[in-house]
């Protein structure tokens, strides 16, 4: 039996005291509301759907063939094992919070196969075993071997927290092989896809074995010296272009960049003198101040699924991969634990309610891989740029990644210190805040900005409530007192209170982009609370193309009721106009005047493509 420390049950629980401490996810029970409902759809629909597709696409057969239980050839991308591991992690977090009897047959079968396939020296990779047995660790540029191991580790950590360690034993055997091969005195090359770094730090926290964190540091510090080759996309794509501590601009494959900085932040959390902080701060500014879509999406180029130049943010060609938004949430959470700055929680919220939420259909069984901010009329359907969500992809990294995030979302809502409890995200539910006190949160956030918190006994510590940067005009009341205005950041409620009401204004607001963002010049985006809205073809009058819709330079938006099929409030933008039809691709002279169109309806961006395929846009041009 492997040794497991009594660390917190949470995806990131630093080994040393940090500015904020995460809360054990078992202390949060989500109720009826947006996040609670989404988590239940994730468990009831998404996870079973993912399990079924892992079977139908051959991910489990890839293991069975190695023990003579299937004659099918290897199917899927070479990193298909990682989709199994992410799914096991999702179920592991569910198991840490409660009963998962309905999934145990799948889990037991998966663990049985992994144990049977694992080599005596610990190696485990269904692509590089069997016919390719002599190719292990020969293509670190593209092979994803340690990326897959990272996800295996994270699945094992989740299940160890749930009290089951057989998967952890499998993972540890493989990790020991990596120590021998790539540890100090071993090979000085690195995997082309970062991910193992944050997983190794998690493993060190779980087991108390600091060697795993040292290996993560070694892998971080070996990057940037172009040891694995340029491959098809260059060293930046593989995050092997600039040493991590010297990096000042986010470049290359967006998911790889964000997993890498999450790993560096994990090491920084556990070691005060790790030396990554200057790079982390500079890269955070590069991402969030120059290279992020208004929805929280990241990655502006389809080639290499990569970041572009500063302010290169085309709406219609936005790649904005779902996994990049999830990785950014993980990174911002670790930065929040480092210094408690509200801007990190603001970005978690932005991404969660927009770039992440848009990826999943209402029924939880179809998904976007990329998430553009505009889909043109007559769009040519492609797998990496579909016109509507697909139930699966050849590269199916996003659906199981969503599953593991939603299963563990409880761990990203609150933190604590010896002096205070901090609320970062707002969701209806019951929260064990310590000191023998339970807080019941009543809210319909993000649709309604009123957040009521009732404590079953007067609080012993302060309560810190995040006031988002977008929530100008927010007010706070305690124990029935008159509302008082509060500024963005964290507002403090002194100990000894029994009720708190925070009111965040969710009136519609129009926003514009920096003038260097050519893809949004002369256009406005509409936000209601933390949720961005879009226009969709389904809401336009017959015969009107979305590309011809214009709105005033000083528009007004009003509430337009809840759309039952979307389960969300809609907005009406007044004074819309219709551009005159243009006959020529290019022409000289004045364009014909636009005609009145009247009010047009806007829906939450994350709900588009749930009714029918069709054009969509977030940035609406003005006239």
**Are 327 and 427 part of one and the same domain?**
no
Q: In terms of C-beta distances under 8 Å and separation of at least 24 residues, what long-range contacts does 15-19 make, across chains too?
A: 15/204, 15/205, 15/213, 15/269, 15/270, 16/269, 16/270, 16/271, 16/272, 18/269, 18/337, 18/338, 19/337, 19/338, 19/339, 19/340, 19/417
For 366, the token pair is 């179809």
305 is catalytic: yes
**Are 62 and 77 part of one and the same domain?**
yes
Is residue 384 over pLDDT 80? no
Q: Give the domain-ending residue among 396, 412, 428.
A: 412
**CATH number of the domain bearing residue 353:** 1.50.10
Burial string for 118-140 (b: 16+ CB within 10 Å, else e) reads beeebbbbbbbbeebeeebbebb
**Are 603 and 473 part of one and the same domain?**
no
Q: Half-sphere exposure of residue 306, counting CA atoms within 13 Å on the CB side? A: 17
Burial string for 361-383 (b: 16+ CB within 10 Å, else e) reads bbebbbbbbbbbbbbeeebeeee
Burial string for 563-579 (b: 16+ CB within 10 Å, else e) reads beebebbbbbbebbbbb
Phi, psi of 473 (to 5 degrees): 95, 15
| DSSP strand pairing (420-423 vs 462-467) | parallel
**Are 457 and 525 part of one and the same domain?**
no
The predicted structure's pLDDT at residue 533: 98
Query: What is the pTM for the complete model shown?
Result: 0.97
Listed in order, strand segments (DSSP E) in 514-591 are: 523-528, 531-536, 549-550, 557-563, 568-578
d(CA 485, CA 409) in angstroms, rounded, equals 30
Is residue 6 over pLDDT 70? no
Is residue 11 over pLDDT 70? yes
Residue 423 lies in a domain: yes
Rg, C-alpha atoms of the chain:
24
Structural domain tally of the chain? 3
In tens, the pLDDT along 218-230 reads 999 999 999 888 8
Any alpha helices (H) in 271-316, and if so which ranges? Answer: 277-290
The predicted structure's pLDDT at residue 2: 67
Out of 94, 349, 397, 398, which one is annotated catalytic? 397
Q: With bands split at pLDDT 50, 70 and 90, how would you rate the model's confidence at 519?
A: very high
The predicted structure's pLDDT at residue 3: 64
The predicted structure's pLDDT at residue 228: 86
**Are 438 and 356 part of one and the same domain?**
no
In tens, the pLDDT along 329-349 reads 999 999 999 999 999 999 999
**Are 496 and 371 part of one and the same domain?**
no
In tens, the pLDDT along 391-445 reads 999 999 999 999 999 999 999 999 999 999 999 999 999 999 999 999 999 999 9
Residue 10 lies in a domain: no
d(CA 36, CA 428) in angstroms, rounded, equals 7
Contact 368, 384 (CB under 8 A): no
Name the residue range of residue 444's domain: 415-503
**Are 237 and 343 part of one and the same domain?**
yes
Residue 399: how many other CB atoms lie within 10 Å: 29
**Are 374 and 469 part of one and the same domain?**
no
Specify the DSSP class assigned to residue 42: I
**CATH number of the domain bearing residue 438:** 2.60.40
Residue 9 lies in a domain: no
Residue 223 lies in a domain: yes
Contact 274, 224 (CB under 8 A): no
- Cα angle, residue 170 at apex, residues 166 and 174 outer, rounded to 5°: 160
**Are 473 and 514 part of one and the same domain?**
no
289 is catalytic: no
Q: With bands split at pLDDT 50, 70 and 90, how would you rate the model's confidence at 581?
A: confident
Is residue 271 over pLDDT 90? yes
Residue 12 lies in a domain: no
Q: With bands split at pLDDT 50, 70 and 90, how would you rate the model's confidence at 1?
A: low
**Are 296 and 365 part of one and the same domain?**
yes
Residue 583 lies in a domain: yes
**Are 423 and 404 part of one and the same domain?**
no
In tens, the pLDDT along 466-498 reads 999 999 999 999 999 999 999 999 999 999 999
Residue 13 lies in a domain: no
Q: Give the domain-ending residue among 366, 397, 412.
A: 412
Residue 16 lies in a domain: no
Q: Give the domain-ending residue among 349, 382, 412.
A: 412
- Cα angle, residue 34 at apex, residues 32 and 39 outer, rounded to 5°: 80
Is residue 217 over pLDDT 70? yes
Out of 145, 305, 347, 416, which one is annotated catalytic? 305
d(CA 552, CA 260) in angstroms, rounded, equals 43
**Are 317 and 444 part of one and the same domain?**
no
């Amino acid at each position: 039996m492997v040794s497991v420390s009594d660390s917190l049950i949470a995806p990131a629980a630093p080994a040393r005291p940090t500015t904020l401490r995460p809360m054990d996810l078992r202390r949060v029970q989500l109720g009826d509301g947006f996040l609670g409902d989404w988590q239940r759809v994730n468990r009831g629909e998404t996870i079973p759907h993912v399990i079924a597709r892992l079977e139908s696409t051959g991910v489990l057969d890839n293991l069975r063939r190695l023990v003579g239980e299937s004659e099918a050839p290897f199917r899927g991308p070479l990193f298909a094992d990682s989709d199994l591991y992410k799914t096991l992690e999702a179920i592991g977090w569910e198991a840490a919070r409660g009963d998962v009897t309905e999934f145990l047959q799948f889990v037991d079968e998966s663990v049985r196969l992994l144990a049977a396939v694992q080599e005596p020296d610990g190696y485990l990779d269904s692509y590089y075993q069997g016919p390719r047995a002599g190719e292990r660790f020969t293509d670190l540029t593209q092979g994803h071997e340690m990326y897959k191991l990272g996800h295996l580790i994270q699945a094992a950590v989740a299940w160890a927290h749930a009290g089951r360690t057989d998967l952890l034993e499998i993972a540890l055997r493989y990790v020991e092989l990596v120590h021998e091969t790539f540890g100090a005195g071993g090979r000085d090359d690195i995997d082309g896809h970062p991910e193992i770094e944050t997983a190794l730090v998690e493993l060190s926290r779980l087991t108390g074995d600091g060697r795993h964190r040292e290996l993560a540091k070694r892998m971080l510090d070996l990057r940037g010296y172009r040891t694995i080759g340029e491959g098809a996309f260059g060293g930046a794509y593989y995050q092997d272009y600039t040493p991590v501590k010297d990096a000042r601009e986010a470049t290359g494959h967006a998911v790889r960049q964000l997993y890498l900085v999450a790993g560096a932040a994990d090491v920084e959390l556990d070691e005060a003198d790790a030396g990554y902080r200057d790079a982390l701060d500079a890269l955070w500014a590069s991402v969030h101040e120059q290279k992020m879509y208004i929805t929280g999406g990241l990655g502006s180029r389809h080639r290499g699924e990569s970041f572009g130049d500063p302010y290169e943010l085309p709406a219609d060609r936005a790649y904005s991969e779902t996994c990049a938004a999830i990785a950014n949430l993980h990174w911002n959470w670790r930065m929040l634990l480092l210094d408690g700055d509200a801007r990190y929680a603001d970005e978690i919220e932005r991404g969660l309610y927009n770039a992440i939420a848009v990826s999943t259909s209402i029924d939880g069984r179809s998904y976007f891989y990329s998430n553009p901010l505009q889909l043109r009329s007559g769009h040519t359907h492609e797998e990496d740029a579909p016109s509507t969500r697909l139930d699966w992809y050849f590269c199916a990294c996003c659906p199981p990644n969503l599953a593991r995030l939603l299963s563990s979302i409880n761990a990203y809502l609150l933190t604590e210190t010896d002096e205070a409890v901090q609320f970062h995200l707002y969701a209806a539910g019951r929260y064990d805040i310590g000191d023998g006190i339970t807080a019941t949160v009543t809210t319909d956030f993000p649709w309604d900005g009123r957040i009521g918190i009732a404590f079953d006994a007067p609080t012993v510590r302060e309560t810190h409530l995040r006031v988002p940067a977008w929530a100008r005009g927010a007010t706070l009341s305690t124990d029935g007192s008159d509302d008082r205005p509060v500024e963005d950041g964290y507002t403090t409620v002194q100990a000894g209170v029994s009720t708190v009401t925070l009111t965040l204004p969710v009136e519609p607001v129009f926003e514009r982009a920096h003038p260097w963002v050519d893809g949004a010049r002369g256009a406005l985006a509409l936000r209601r609370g933390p949720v961005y809205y879009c226009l969709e073809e389904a809401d336009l009058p017959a015969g009107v193309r979305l590309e011809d819709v214009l709105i005033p330079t000083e528009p007004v938006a009003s509430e337009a009721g809840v759309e039952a099929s979307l389960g969300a409030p809609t907005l009406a933008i007044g004074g819309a106009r219709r551009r005159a039809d243009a006959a020529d691709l290019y022409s000289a002279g004045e364009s014909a005047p636009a005609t009145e169109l009247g009010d047009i309806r806007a829906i939450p961006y994350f709900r588009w493509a749930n009714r029918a395929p069709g054009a969509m846009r977030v940035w609406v041009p003005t006239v």
